[in-house]
Amino acid sequence: MGAVVNQSGAMAKAQGAALWGLSLALHEVAELESGQVKQRNVDSYTPVRMADVRALDIVFIDSDAFPSGLGESR
């Protein structure tokens, strides 16, 4: 991603991405029933909850590269 311009914004983005990935791997599912998705509403949506999360240890490595963003890579 290059040099970090906004440390707190970059940290929030990295933490969110890590937790979203964990949530996808552990909890999220789309079951099919008679050719239709069974989960039809958010009441069955079970992402990782804050109470289930331990401290994350994310470190940014210093770089002289041009800041290019921390969003989805191309």
Domain chopping of the chain, boundaries: 7-52
What pTM was estimated for this model as a whole?
0.70
In this prediction, residues 49-58 reach a mean pLDDT of: 89
**Residue whose C-alpha is closest to residue 17's, from 35, 9, 29:** 9
* Residue 27 predicted with pLDDT over 90: no
**What is the DSSP secondary structure assignment for residue 13, as one 8-state letter?**
H
| Residue 11: band (very low, low, confident or very high) from pLDDT cuts 50, 70, 90 | very high
In this prediction, residues 47-74 reach a mean pLDDT of: 83
The pLDDT value given to residue 72 = 62
The pLDDT value given to residue 73 = 52
* Residue 71 predicted with pLDDT over 80: no
Are the C-beta atoms of residues 39 and 30 closer than 8 Å to each other? yes
- How many angstroms from the chain centroid is the CA of residue 72? 11
